[in-house]
Chain A
Amino acid sequence: MKVLVPVKRVVDYNVKVRVKSDGSGVDIANVKMSMNPFDEIAIEEAVRLKEKGVATEVIAVSCGVLQCQETLRTAMAIGADRAILVETAEELQPLAVAKLLKALVDKEQPQLVILGKQAIDDDCNQTGQMLAALLGWGQATFASKVEVADGVARVTREVDGGLETLSLTLPAIITTDLRLNEPRYVTLPNIMKAKKKQLDNVKPADLGVDVAPRIKTLKVSEPPKRSAGIKVADVAALVDKLKNEAKVI
């Protein structure tokens, strides 16, 4: 069974981005870029399925600029067998990415696609569900536990109020939540090995996909600043402030 894992190159989670002064977007020139943390969990899960003998091949995919190759090399250092870059400098929105991924799924015929539940840059939380819809497959989003056997994926999901378990007939889509696994550290020998793994490059046009944006960003601005308040000396002062100044208790 092949497993496809899409990964996104995003601004590192430790970076606090700045809004450009002309309001056209955020400034990502010269900031550290990394693999989206949820996608790292997705790769890790796929590699574990391979180590258990459930998956036979793990293919990492990224859509975007040429530098996404670095993200794909990281995915291969974690343990993906090969990688595909869908290279474009166009702005890609989730629906366009889902269409690109559908074209690759049609070609590669994986039984499972594991994606991160959301990217930490646009915070959309859409691509996995959209891909499931385009393929007509079942989906289990926000997974905290995955078991695959006999053509069925049994997935525990994080939902409001607790956990829920679904059973999906393969092929299917899974999106990862934070507690699914803890991704391994990438070791130097594995980074070296990843450099030799196959990395193919295709263009959206090769896949016959129109990636034109459906949503136009008119302006990006700083959120209203919340200013720091005061420090109180002790518990009695805190209770007094809450009762008599803020009047919230």
Chain B
Amino acid sequence: MTSLVIAEHDNASIRPATLNTVTAASQCGGDVHVLVAGLNAAAAAQAAAQIAGVAKVIHVEGEQFAHGLAENMAAQVIALASSYSHLLFPATASGKNIAPRVAALLDVGQISDITKVDAVDTFERPIYAGNAIAIVQSLDATKVITVRTTGFDAAASTGGSASVDVVTGVADSGKSAFVGSEIAKSDRPELTAAKIIVSGGRALGSSEKFDEVLTPLADKLGAALGASRAAVDAGYAPNDWQVGQTGKIVAPQLYVAIGISGAIQHLAGMKDSKVIVAINKDGEAPIFGVADYGLEADLFTAVPELIAAL
């Protein structure tokens, strides 16, 4: 029994979600191998080899893997799949894009977003926006899994000494092509890996206010910025800042919800945070039902005060 973790990386380094996925893989029993498929990704492959608990890294190079296209990535995983009992992807935009394609090609069901490994074939996963937890058993020989990163500790990124095998990649499918991307450059921590998140809702009122009020607080705390769906829909914050059932799932040490009422879909994305602070004018807002510390106040006066007091 051996597990293969499909690494998420930027060719130079391994993204943190990969580390949580390695931990989930190690709980499935047996050795853990990591696939690094990319372009000029030798540094990422070396970084993967340092992860504690990884026995082998499979490094695949090629232009066809430069942008993580699902068709090519899935074909590459299929080429390797026969040696593995478990194929695990982080439940990120990239992992969710590729994993079901692999499962269908193998004619197996996929277990999405696992938060716990109960046995080699039995896993826990949230359903209905986290309002219920299902314990599910895979009846297939190969388990294709996406891992909710907040459910597992990150494996140590150093201390391992895995071998790196370079393998020839599958050919380009030609079915899709990368045109371009707009990835915001930011010095802030990644939302899903941040220790502190400052998150804003519709009460901010405009994108200017969102930035003016929340950015200094995030700077002071060294926090990532997040948003509720309402704030994103209103155009106050970029799409990829959305925290919730169908956006990012986060579990930082401290989550500061500012002007967020707390719809169940939003709570689904952040209620596993260690400490939750809510600042809201409406004392009846559902967010206070999950907050460790609630401050019933006008955010436009409370947040500047908070910045001054830190």
Binding site for B on A (CB under 8 A): 11, 13, 16-17, 19, 26, 38, 93-95, 98, 117-118, 120-134, 136-142, 144, 154, 157-169, 172, 177-179, 213-223, 226, 228-232, 234-236, 238-239, 241-242, 246, 248-249
Which residue from chain A places its CB closest to the CB of B137 in the assembled complex?
A216
A215 touching B94 in the complex, CB below 8 Å, given contacts A123-B113, A223-B131: no
Chain A CB within 10 A, most for which of B133, B184, B232, B276? B133
Beta-carbon contact of B173 and A138 below 8 Å: yes
Q: Spot the interface stretch: B38-46, B54-62, B100-108, B200-208.
A: B100-108
Given contacts A158-B240, A222-B133, A249-B196, 9 further A-B contacts (CB under 8 A): A123-B127, A142-B97, A164-B181, A178-B229, A178-B239, A223-B130, A231-B294, A232-B294, A248-B275
Which residue from chain B places its CB closest to the CB of A123 in the assembled complex?
B127
Binary per-residue interface labels of chain B (119-139) against chain A in the complex, 1 for a CB within 8 Å, 0 otherwise: 000100011111111111111
Residues of B within 8 A of A131 (CB): 104
- The distance in angstroms between the C-alpha atoms of A19 and B134, with both chains bound, is 10
Residues of B within 8 A of A218 (CB): 122, 135-137
Residues of A within 8 A of B150 (CB): none
A229 touching B293 in the complex, CB below 8 Å, given contacts A215-B111, A216-B137, A217-B136: yes
B74 contacts chain A at the CB level, 8 A cutoff: yes
A-B contact pairs, 13 of them (CB 8 A): A26-B132, A93-B109, A123-B129, A138-B175, A159-B183, A160-B192, A167-B177, A177-B246, A179-B232, A214-B109, A215-B136, A216-B139, A218-B135
A117 touching B288 in the complex, CB below 8 Å, given contacts A122-B127, A129-B70, A229-B293: no
Which residue from chain A places its CB closest to the CB of B138 in the assembled complex?
A215
Which residue from chain A places its CB closest to the CB of B287 in the assembled complex?
A228
Beta-carbon contact of A16 and B277 below 8 Å: no
Beta-carbon contact of B100 and A130 below 8 Å: yes
Residues of A within 8 A of B98 (CB): 129
Beta-carbon contact of B240 and A159 below 8 Å: yes
Residues of B within 8 A of A26 (CB): 127-128, 131-132
- State which of A123, A138, A217, A220 has its C-beta within 8 Å of the C-beta of B245: A123
Beta-carbon contact of B233 and A129 below 8 Å: no
- The distance in angstroms between the C-alpha atoms of A118 and B93, with both chains bound, is 12
Q: Name the distance in Å between A226's Cβ and chain B's nearest Cβ.
A: 5
Beta-carbon contact of B290 and A139 below 8 Å: no
Residues of B within 8 A of A231 (CB): 283, 288, 293-296
Beta-carbon contact of A117 and B246 below 8 Å: yes
Q: Name the distance in Å between A238's Cβ and chain B's nearest Cβ.
A: 5
- The distance in angstroms between the C-alpha atoms of A166 and B180, with both chains bound, is 7
Chain B CB within 10 A, most for which of A179, A230, A235? A235
- The distance in angstroms between the C-alpha atoms of A222 and B128, with both chains bound, is 11
Beta-carbon contact of A134 and B104 below 8 Å: yes
- The distance in angstroms between the C-alpha atoms of A64 and B47, with both chains bound, is 46
- The distance in angstroms between the C-alpha atoms of A199 and B180, with both chains bound, is 41
Q: Name the distance in Å between B285's Cβ and chain A's nearest Cβ.
A: 11
A166 touching B109 in the complex, CB below 8 Å, given contacts A129-B100, A133-B101, A144-B239: no
A163 touching B112 in the complex, CB below 8 Å, given contacts A138-B175, A238-B277: no
* Secondary structure dominating the interface of A: mixed
Q: Name the distance in Å between A100's Cβ and chain B's nearest Cβ.
A: 13
Beta-carbon contact of B110 and A95 below 8 Å: yes
Which residue from chain B places its CB closest to the CB of A129 in the assembled complex?
B100
- The distance in angstroms between the C-alpha atoms of A226 and B184, with both chains bound, is 34
- The distance in angstroms between the C-alpha atoms of A13 and B97, with both chains bound, is 24
| B4-30 with Cβ < 8 A to chain A | none
Beta-carbon contact of A95 and B109 below 8 Å: yes
B66 contacts chain A at the CB level, 8 A cutoff: no
Residues of B within 8 A of A19 (CB): 131-132
B168 contacts chain A at the CB level, 8 A cutoff: no
- The distance in angstroms between the C-alpha atoms of A231 and B302, with both chains bound, is 14
Beta-carbon contact of A246 and B275 below 8 Å: yes
Q: Name the distance in Å between B72's Cβ and chain A's nearest Cβ.
A: 10
Residues of B within 8 A of A217 (CB): 134-136
Beta-carbon contact of B110 and A124 below 8 Å: yes
- State which of A158, A168, A235 has its C-beta within 8 Å of the C-beta of B176: A168
Beta-carbon contact of B254 and A248 below 8 Å: yes
A238 touching B132 in the complex, CB below 8 Å, given contacts A120-B246, A144-B239: no
